[in-house]
């Protein structure tokens, strides 16, 4: 798994886009048509394979059936893979929100020195392949905590570490947009306790950031392959199941169709997650990628 696969939904749209393309040239039409086909044909192929009875010789499948869907979801390995991936996703999102929110809040209201420390480390999962981080974690835990190796908790920690930048950028952007330092100051002036400030002022105001960050962390854990492969390949996640199936594929058609079913489901899940991110950030730039935020801020200034 690469950073690329995890770097999800950035729907950063410049505010001043008044310069519309009113006339589309033939070249532009061709460009967009081929891009459209390039991205949709594989989706259609996967979807068709999940409902095809036999498809080896003709342009379209010989017939259609829902048997593969029923068969795939009664497969214990598939069920457990979905369960594991969901639990991993939830834990990753929950841990990241729980540890990132206090850090960002404190960096904003009390100690600005926290920010550079966090931002430098947020560049690590952004730049280094997850394969390298996972392998490093394997070697490092081999030295300090051999008992943790290959375990589910270690995998959760690793995922929390690689997904934290998404939560950080989302929460930080939400706090900036809400003007959390001033709100928090006002609440404190009104005599609110720190707990009240966090519960009644901070959290409700950064809800879009929390949801966005959580969804992105969840999506990262859902599709990640490299780290789980080197760190804990005995943990059966959706990508691990798919990889085993695609590798052991020897031409028997059933495996191919089951893969198609699982891929289709994964695809829909990611689609829903992206839609959620877009919905929660309507009218606001998602400041998920470094640079995007800077560009956006300069543009406003």
Nearer to another protein, 63 or 112 (CB): 112
Q: Which listed residue (94, 157, 176, 203) binds another protein by CB under 8 A?
A: 157
- Contact between 26 and another protein (CB under 8 A)? no
Backbone φ, ψ for residue 228 (5° rounding): -65, -35
Q: Give yes or no for residue 1 binding another protein (CB under 8 A).
A: yes
Nearer to another protein, 82 or 105 (CB): 105
Using CB under 8 A as the binding rule, the residues of this chain from 92 to 151 that contact another protein are 98-100, 102-103, 105-107, 109-114, 117-118, 121, 123-133, 135-137, 139-140, 143
Kindly tell me which of 74 and 285 has the beta carbon lying closer to another protein: 285
- Bridge partners (DSSP) of residue 52 are 64
Instruction: Check residue 146 and report its DSSP letter.
Output: G
Q: Write the binding mask 66 to 95 for another protein: x where contact by CB under 8 A, - elsewhere.
A: ------------------------------
Distance, CA of 41 to CA of 47 (rounded, Å):
10
How many residues at the interface with another protein, by CB under 8 A? 124
Stretch that binds another protein, among 63-71, 74-82, 169-177, 257-265 (CB under 8 A): 257-265
Helix residue spans in the chain (DSSP H): 3-6, 26-51, 67-73, 76-109, 114-127, 130-144, 152-178, 180-189, 194-196, 203-205, 207-223, 226-232, 238-247, 253-280, 292-300
- The two tokens of residue 53 are 């009875």
Q: Is 42 in the site for another protein (CB under 8 A)?
A: yes
| Rg (the chain; Cα; Å) | 22
CA–CA separation, 9 and 2 (whole Å): 15
* Shortest Cβ 79–another protein spacing (Å): 18
165-167-170 Cα angle (round to 5): 105
- Would you say how long the chain is, in residues? 301
Footprint of another protein on 262-291 (CB under 8 A): 263, 266-267, 270-271, 273-275, 277-278, 285, 289, 291
Q: What residues from 213 to 242 belong to the interface with another protein (CB under 8 A)?
A: 219, 223-226, 229-230, 239, 242
Binding status of residue 55 toward another protein by CB under 8 A? yes
């Amino acid at each position: 798994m690469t950073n690329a696969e995890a770097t999800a939904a950035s729907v950063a749209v410049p505010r001043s886009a008044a310069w519309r393309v009113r006339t589309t040239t033939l070249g532009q039409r061709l460009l967009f048509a081929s891009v459209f086909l390039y991205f949709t044909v594989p989706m259609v192929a996967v979807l068709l394979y999940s409902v095809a009875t036999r498809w080896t010789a003709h342009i379209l499948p010989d017939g259609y059936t829902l048997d593969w869907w029923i068969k795939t979801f009664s497969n214990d390995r598939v069920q457990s893979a979905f369960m594991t991936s969901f639990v991993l996703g939830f834990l990753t999102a929950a841990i990241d929100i729980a540890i990132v929110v206090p850090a960002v809040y404190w960096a904003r209201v009390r100690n600005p020195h926290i920010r550079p420390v966090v931002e430098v480390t947020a560049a690590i999962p952004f730049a280094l392949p997850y394969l390298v981080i996972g392998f490093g974690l394997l070697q490092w835990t081999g030295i300090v905590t051999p008992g943790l190796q290959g375990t589910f908790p270690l995998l959760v920690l690793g995922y929390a570490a690689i997904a934290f930048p998404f939560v950080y950028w989302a929460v930080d952007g939400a706090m900036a947009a809400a003007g959390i330092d001033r709100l928090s100051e006002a609440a404190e002036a009104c005599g609110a306790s720190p707990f009240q400030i966090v519960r009644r002022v901070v959290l409700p105001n950064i809800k879009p950031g929390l949801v966005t960050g959580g969804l992105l962390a969840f999506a990262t854990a859902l599709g990640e392959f490299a780290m789980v492969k080197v760190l804990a390949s005995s943990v059966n996640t959706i990508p691990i199941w798919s990889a085993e199936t695609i590798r052991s594929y020897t031409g028997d058609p059933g495996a191919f169709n089951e893969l198609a079913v699982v891929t289709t489901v994964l695809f829909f899940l990611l689609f829903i997650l992206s839609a959620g991110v877009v919905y929660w950030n309507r009218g606001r730039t998602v400041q998920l990628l470094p640079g995007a935020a800077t560009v956006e801020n300069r543009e406003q200034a």
